[in-house]
Amino acid sequence: MQQVTLQVGQTATWTGIRPVTESGAPAKIDTQDQAPVLVNDIGDAVGTVSEVREYTDEATGKVGHEFDMSVQAVTENSVSELTLKVDADNDAGETRLLEEKVIATVLPAEAAAFTFPTPTIN
């Protein structure tokens, strides 16, 4: 599970999420049967998955997929639960979902500075 705390209008972005096998080796995902998606289960945060691409692991030479994910805060004082869903079956024909929960807590903005009106001079 991933957790993030935001304020309204902020976006959290994870760049280079890499599915791996049980042994930690790079894994490919199937984007034909089901594209990677970030589904909002509870709340109103907006989730997106983008930039699915291949990479080559420098240590092993094996090829896998990586992608980026973003969550944007919408409503103050709220909690959203999203589910990242990726088809872990690396060939077309069947779907085997790999899922991860993402919890986004949106807090109100807190004071960070002062604004001063123009002074009155007598």
For the chain, domains (ranges, CATH) are 2-107 (2.60.40.10)
Specify the pLDDT at position 93.
66
Specify the pLDDT at position 90.
64
Specify the pLDDT at position 72.
96
Across the beta sheet with 97-107, what order do the strands follow?
2-7, 97-107, 78-87, 37-42
Distance CA 37, CA 40 (A): 10
User: How far, in Å, are 4, 115, 121 from residue 118 at the CA level?
Assistant: 39, 10, 9
Answer whether 0.85 is exceeded by the pTM. Answer: no
Q: How confident is the prediction along the chain (122 residues), in pLDDT tens digits per residue?
A: 999 999 998 999 999 999 988 888 898 888 877 889 999 999 999 999 999 999 999 989 999 999 999 999 999 999 999 999 998 876 666 777 889 999 999 998 877 788 999 989 99
Specify the pLDDT at position 91.
64
